[in-house]
């Protein structure tokens, strides 16, 4: 079984990490009162969040396509999956201590853990992945009208069922990445990866792509899970320390 590592996927993931770090640094500045931004409503910030999450999930789909193309077995898949699921649990516990009224019960890692299983099971669906992805992205837009027409569907807004993403009210949580519409992004990444592996494998590159900067980005991207878990506590600690030293802004 071939297990070639494709640097360009890791580099793409590193771009998402860099963008996420900048976004969270700005969020932390706002949290500690250094700035005053509307992260939940300002399109400048909400659009960036959507783009960052989309990039992470698209690369997750790409990676699953490569794993399937290389014949990765279920045992190896489950080992990686357990790391993601365990990290998601840590995020829930940590966010509960920091934000007990808005803790993360189904954020990006929780979503990825579920979506990876779905992607694995649907990886052989070929061209159907494209319309399925489009349907998953469109469906949430129809939820408010559907619930107005059939009030019984309001139950899907409740905690637990709202992880499906067919909702008319977004829950109050520090991070929320439901199956809809985000599974659509994973399916499109999976479909793209399956096509590229079959027809244009050279686009993915091998190892050592892009010189020193490219090698650094690829290495960073390979440690994305560890970095994701550690970066925000470190950033919040540094910004909180700056506030303690400098006083109230």
Q: Please choose, from the candidates 108, 166, 105, 101, the residue with its C-alpha nearest in 3D space to the C-alpha of residue 137.
A: 166
Euclidean distance between CA atoms 214 and 230, whole angstroms: 22
- On the CB side of 191, CA atoms within 13 Å amount to 16
pLDDT, one tens digit for every residue, the chain (249 residues) = 456 778 899 999 999 999 999 999 999 999 999 999 999 899 999 999 999 999 999 999 999 999 999 999 999 999 999 999 999 999 999 999 988 999 999 999 999 999 999 999 999 999 999 999 999 999 999 999 999 999 999 999 999 999 999 999 999 999 999 999 999 999 999 999 999 999 988 888 766 666 889 889 999 999 999 999 999 999 999 999 999 998 765
Give yes or no for a contact between 69 and 197, defined as CB atoms under 8 angstroms apart. yes
Chain centre to alpha carbon of residue 196: 22
pTM of the model: 0.93
């Amino acid at each position: 079984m071939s297990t070639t590592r494709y640097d360009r996927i890791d580099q793409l993931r590193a771009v998402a990490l860099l963008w996420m770090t900048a976004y969270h640094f700005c969020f932390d500045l706002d949290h500690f009162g250094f700035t005053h931004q509307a992260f939940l409503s300002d399109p400048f910030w909400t659009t960036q969040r959507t783009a960052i999450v989309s990039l992470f999930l698209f690369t997750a789909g790409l990676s699953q396509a490569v794993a399937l193309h290389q014949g990765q077995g279920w045992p190896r898949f489950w080992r990686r999956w357990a790391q993601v699921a365990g990290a998601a649990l840590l995020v829930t516990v940590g966010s509960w201590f920091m934000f007990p009224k808005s803790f993360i019960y189904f954020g990006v890692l929780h979503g990825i853990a579920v979506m990876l299983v779905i992607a694995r099971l649907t990886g052989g669906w070929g061209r159907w992945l494209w319309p399925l992805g489009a349907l998953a992205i469109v469906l949430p837009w129809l939820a408010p009208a559907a619930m107005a027409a059939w009030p019984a569907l309001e139950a899907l807004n409740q905690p637990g069922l709202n992880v499906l993403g067919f909702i008319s009210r977004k829950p109050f949580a520090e991070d929320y990445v439901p199956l809809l519409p985000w599974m659509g992004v994973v399916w499109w990444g999976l479909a793209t990866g399956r096509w590229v592996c079959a027809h244009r494998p050279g686009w993915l590159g091998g190892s050592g792509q892009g010189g020193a900067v490219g090698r650094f980005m690829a290495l960073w991207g390979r440690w994305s899970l560890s970095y994701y878990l550690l970066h925000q506590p470190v950033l919040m600690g540094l910004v909180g320390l700056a506030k303690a030293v400098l006083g109230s802004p």
